[in-house]
Amino acid sequence: MILRTPAPKRARPIEPAPIIESPPVGSDHRQLAIYEDPSSAGPARREPSQQSEHMLCTYQCRQMVKADFLDALSNAEKQVQDYQSKLAELNDNFGKADEERKTFREKLSYVEQELAAAKGREQALHDQLLKEVNDSHERLKKELELSAKLQAKLENEQNLRKKAESTAAAAEDKAKELEAKLGHISKSIEKEKKRFNNELAQLNRDSKFSITKITVDLEKMEFRAKSSEQEVELLRKQQEDLQSKFSECLHQKSELEKRLTSLSFEDDSPKESDILVKHLQEELRNYESEVREARKLKSAHDSIELMKEKLLEEKSRRERVELQLPKLQEYELKINKLEDELSAWKLMIQDIPGVSCCDDVPLRISALQKEVIDNLKKLGEVNAHLKQMQVVLDKTQLDKQKTETEAALAKEKADRLEAEVKRMNLMLSAVSEERNMLKIAIEDFKSKNEQAGGHASSSALQVLKFHSSSFIFLLTLFLLFVIYYLAPFLMITYDFLLVHIQELESSLLKREPYIKELEGDLFAQKDINTRQQDEIKSLHDRLNSEARKVKSLERESDRLRSEIFLLESKLGHGDFSAANTKVLRMVNTLAVGNDAKQTIEALQSELQRTKEKLQALEEYKSQSGNSGKLVDSYMSGKVAQLKEQIATLEKREERYKTVFADRISVFRRACCELFGYKIVMDERQRPNGIPVTRFTLQSIYAMNDDEKLEFEYESGNTNIVENGYTSTSEISQQVDIFVRKMNSIPAFTANLTVESFNRRTLS
Amino acid sequence: MASKTAAKDIITLRGSAAIVSEFFGYAANSILYNRAVYPEESFARVKKYGLPMLLTKDEGVKSFISNLNAQLSEWLEAGKLQRVVLVIMSMNTGEVLERWNFSIETDNEVVEKGVSREKSDKEIMREIQAIMRQIASSITYLPCLDEQCVFDVLAYTDTDVAVPFTWMESSDAKLIANPQMVKLHSFDTKIHKVNTLVSYKNDEEELDDEE
């Protein structure tokens, strides 16, 4: 509250004192007009002659003046009444004005309070605005810094992503190329495999052909060998003959020599003996020479045969080589092609970085796949970073929007303050207008008062004037004070707000291109996000498919669990597989013991009984000795008879066996000759313990021993058993027709005998 | 026996076989007591697995079970034992009333290579204790055996096992038709895992037949 110093009181205008020329009519306080007798007054003033006239005149004048005065009095009284009424009115007006003043004062105080509150609010708003502006400044700075960092990060990550994409693309291209190469290589490998397989098959065929040839040659050679062996044997025989002859000759020679020596010792040999000896010697020599020649011939023959064999072998080899020569050329061409391909592969492998041999290719591919996976992981991480950046950008946008809204709110507040200031101005103008109106009214009142010449109300009017003027003065002072003190402040805050708003707008304008760039980046990111969302959708689809697979796997697992439950129930039931498990049971010594005990007890009881019987027998024996002997002899006779009977029965059994065997053999021979089949009967037991009789039939017209028919006889039913002979096409047809369709084994066997008979006779 | 070191509990094949065969012995005694195959007075109380266990005083049963345990231990060390079944039958009719099935899963690597495993003895004892408690509480759901019963033991082994002198191969696995089955806890020594299951004759069918 501003202390209103009262305006200095205006010095009242020095007005001349009212000249009271006549005493007021009707007033008690009459002032004696000191009439100065002119005579008494002064000697030289008036003339004495004129004193009577003057006295008359003065009386008339006095009367006239009195009348005039009375008139004037009455007028004045009327005026006074009028002025009094006016005073009253003015008092009323003054009261009203006072009330209005009071109301104005109240209003003033209210306005002052409001002004103070508004000031406080303005200060608070100003502080808030300052804080908000500072905060917004700081936020803007931080956001600018963040955006700069984010931009830098964006750029880095974009670069990284580009690099990763490029590397991933390069890796994918490499992988594709490698896959294509691998495909080519695999195809070529498959082709080569097929070729090799075909060649192998051809070689196998050739080898088989050569083997057959060789076998044929072998057979030929064997035949030749046999023939040569025969010849050798003949030659050996000849040789032996010759050797025997030679030995004979030698023996003869030795004998002859002996004779010769004996003869030479005796006397001179006759010429004939010499000649004989000579002849014999010549014959010996001839025989020796013949033997040598025969040996030579034999050796030559052997060598010739060896040479022939060698020739044949060489011929065969030549033929084989000639046959395989074109193949050699083909093989050489193939080898050249394979070598070229190998070199091409080696070059390809050399082109592939990090691969030195074929075994490294899959490793390299796996390494490349790992690289691709890593790059995809990095891409995912980059995308995650990008998303984070997007989130931050969204946050900055939201903050920007918040600051914009706050700036708008500040603007609105400033507008409101402006409106309030305007209102205040309007109020001021209204108050000034009222003041002017009052001034005018006062001036009118003044003028009227002056015109009326009423002095009696002038003082009241003056008082009124003074009060109203003072009120007006105070009002104006107050308003001026308000205007002078508050308006600048308001203007200051308004200016400050305007400046800040302008600063904010300028900063916003500065940031707009940056924001546009960010928006552009955001759009790009949005495109990337749409692509990633598409990828995510595809991944979702894959996820759904995987989820379906998981569900199917869960169903399988449920099924497996149910199977496990069933198996467990079977286990619990005690089922087992005889192939893997056997059930062992401990000999229950307790039961055995009990059984043993029982048997022991039974045996003991029997023992006691037999003992008692024996005792009784012995007593009986002792009592009757002879009768005991007789009993013994009787018993022994009976035993002998029984033994004889057993012996005769055994002999009879053997006789019956031999007779039956003879009969059986006769019967079997008769059946064979009558029906054409040798029948062999076997008693067998099936795994379930049921005895079964098996009959094996072999036709007498069978070409070999494998042509056998087998039948099983069981409780009146005869069934054919399948074997290798019956599974042949001819026999199986007959079995289907005669046995299975017509249910007649005799017809089958008869048909078979006829067919085999026809076959035998025709062959 | 399982060798205990200061910090680790190492289980060998022999130790594990001993644990399992010992468990079977105590389990058999517990079943015979709880199912009243032998009278209560023929059992003596001992402390085992942290529980009061009942062992038979009958010399015949005792020797039977000890011989059985020795053979089971041998088969367990060879890794040839698949299952042990304790069968309770009616003495009069020979009908199988209950089958206590102890199936054994053996770690073949231990049998072949002779390696050892690590497991706390306390943990194994705790698992066995749980099974013993379940055997004791089985009388709540198993049907009453009103008639005199006898027991027998079957061993499911591999086919290449030589049949000992006191054992014989049995073609009859003493199965129960349409049994009710209750699966009990299992214990694992890391070398042998023993799963317990009791199957018993469905008492409700008899009641339905009677009705």
Which residue type is seen at A426?
L
Q: Max alpha carbon distance in chain B (Å)? A: 64
Mutate to test the interface with B, among A561, A566, A584, A590 (most CBs of B within 10 A): A584
Most B CBs within 10 Å, among A568, A569, A571, to test the B interface: A571
Would an 8 Å CB–CB cutoff place A488 in contact with chain B?
no
Higher-confidence residue of B198 and A645: namely B198
Average pLDDT, integer, range B103-114:
92
pLDDT at residue B187, as a whole number: 93
Distances (CA, A) of B164 to A492, B157, B168: 116, 12, 7
Q: Which residue has the higher pLDDT, A13 or A423?
A: A423
Question: Among the listed ranges A517-531, A644-658, A669-683, A713-727, which one has the minimum average pLDDT value?
Answer: A517-531
Least-confidence region, from A81-85, A263-267, A361-365, B96-100: A263-267
**Closest by Cα among A154, A141, A145 to A388:** A154
List CB contacts (< 8 A) between B157 and chain A.
581-582, 584
Give the neighbor-by-neighbor strand order of the sheet with B81-90: B167-169, A581-586, B149-158, B81-90, B96-106, B192-201, B179-188
Mean pLDDT of A203-224: 75
Which of A21-30, A184-193, A441-450, B26-35 has the least mean pLDDT? A21-30
| Confidence (pLDDT) at A450 | 62
Going by C-alpha positions, the residue among A383, A370, A482 that lies closest to residue A165 is A383
- How many Å apart are CA A583 and CA A260, to the nearest integer? 103
What is the pLDDT of chain B when averaged over all its residues?
A: 89
Lowest mean per-residue pLDDT among A463-477, A703-717, B55-69, B157-171: A463-477
Asked whether A472 and A439 are in contact (CB, 8 A), the reply is yes
A43-57, A121-135, A425-439, B69-83: range with highest mean pLDDT = B69-83
Chain A partners of B194 at a C-beta cutoff of 8 Å? none
Determine, for residues A582 and B154 on separate chains, whether the beta-carbon distance falls below 8 Å.
no
| Token duo for residue A420 | 């309030």
Which one-letter amino acid corresponds to residue A416? Answer: R
| Sequence-separated (6 or more) residues with CB below 8 Å from residue A719 | A711, A712
Cβ–Cβ < 8 Å for B69, B24: yes
Residues of A in contact with B154 (CB under 8 A): 583-585
The answer to whether the Cβ–Cβ distance between B175 and A573 falls below 8 Å is yes
Return d(Cα A111, Cα A483) in angstroms, integer: 13
- For helices A487-573 and A360-452, angle between their N-to-C axes, nearest 10 degrees: 150
> Which pLDDT belongs to residue A15?
45
C-alpha A286, offset from chain centre? 109
* Number of other CB atoms surrounding residue B188 within 10 Å: 17
Longest dimension (CA), chain A: 280
Beta-sheet strand order (sheet of A691-699): A677-685, A691-699, A708-714, A717-721
Q: Residue A691 region, left (φ>0) first, then alpha (ψ -120 to 50), else beta?
A: beta
In whole angstroms, give the CA distance from residue B30 to residue B32. 5
A583 touches chain B (CB under 8 A): yes
CA A92 to chain centre: 98
pLDDT greater at residue A538 or residue A576: A538
The answer to whether the CB atoms of B82 and A582 lie below 8 A apart is no
Q: Distance between CA B69 and CA B19 in Å, rounded?
A: 10
pLDDT score, position A223: 77
Tell me how far CA of residue A139 lies from CA of A52, A129, A400, A757, B201, in angstroms.
113, 14, 9, 119, 82
How many angstroms separate the CA of residue A565 from the nearest CA in chain B?
A: 11
Mean per-residue pLDDT, A691-712:
88
Residue among A728, A680, A736, A737 nearest A707 (CA): A728
Q: Would the pLDDT of B169 be above 80?
A: yes
- The pair of structure tokens assigned to A188 is 């070529």
Q: How would residue A474 be classed by pLDDT, with cut points 50, 70 and 90?
A: low
CA atoms of A456 and A136, how far apart (whole Å): 72
Least confident range from A82-96, A214-228, B107-121: namely: A214-228
pLDDT of residue A709: 92
* Residue of B56, B9, B7, B57 whose CA lies nearest to B34: B56
φ, ψ for residue B39, nearest 5 deg: -65, 155
Are residues A573 and B71, on separate chains, in Cβ contact within 8 Å? Answer: no
Q: What number is the ipTM of this complex?
A: 0.87
Confidence band of B71 (pLDDT split at 50, 70, 90): very high
Mean pLDDT computed over every residue of chain A: 75
B-chain residues near A571 (CB < 8 A): 83, 101, 103, 197
Judged against a pLDDT cut of 50, whether residue A509 lies above it is answered with yes
**Mean pLDDT (whole number) for A115-119:** 78
Q: Which two tokens stand for residue A414?
A: 């400033």
pLDDT of residue A664: 84
pLDDT-above-70 percentage for chain B: 92
Contact criterion met (CB below 8 Å) for A324 and A205? no
Percent of chain A with pLDDT over 70: 76
With an 8 Å Cβ cutoff, the interface of chain B facing chain A consists of 60-61, 63-64, 67-68, 71, 82-83, 85, 99, 101, 103, 150, 152-159, 161, 163, 166-176, 179, 181, 183, 197, 199
Q: For B94, which DSSP code?
A: -
- What residue of A is the nearest CA neighbor of B64? A589
Mutation site, A585, A588, A595, interface B, largest B CB count within 10 A: A585
A688 touches chain B (CB under 8 A): no
Question: Residue B7: what are its φ and ψ, rounded to 5°?
Answer: -105, -30
A373/A375 Cα distance (integer angstroms): 5
Name the percent of chain A lying above pLDDT 90: 5
CA B198 from chain centre, in angstroms, equals 10
Residue type, A143: E
Which helix (DSSP H) or strand (DSSP E) does residue B9 occupy?
Answer: strand B9-11
Nearest CA in chain B to A583: B156
Question: How does residue A28 score in pLDDT terms, banded at 50, 70 and 90?
Answer: very low
pLDDT in tens, A275-313: 777 777 787 787 778 778 777 777 877 777 787 788 788
Query: Residue B30: its pLDDT value, please?
Result: 96
Residue type, position A455, single letter = H
Task: Return the sign of the alpha-carbon dihedral for residues A739, A742, A743, A745.
Answer: negative
Asked if residue B182 lies in contact with residue B203, where contact means CB atoms within 8 angstroms, the answer is no
**pLDDT-derived band of residue A219, with 50, 70 and 90 as boundaries?**
confident
- Beta strands, E only, B31-129: 43-48, 51-56, 81-90, 96-106, 117-118
**A501, A410 contact by CB (below 8 A):** yes
3-state secondary structure of A620: helix
Residue A2, pLDDT > 60, answer: no
pLDDT of A546 above 80: yes
Q: Which CA distances in Å does A588 have to A592, A595, B38?
A: 6, 10, 16
| Distance from C-alpha of A283 to C-alpha of A261, rounded to nearest angstrom | 19
DSSP code for A49: T
The identity of residue A726, as a single letter, is T
Q: Is the dihedral of CA A595, A597, A601, A607 positive or negative?
A: positive
3-class DSSP state of A1:
coil
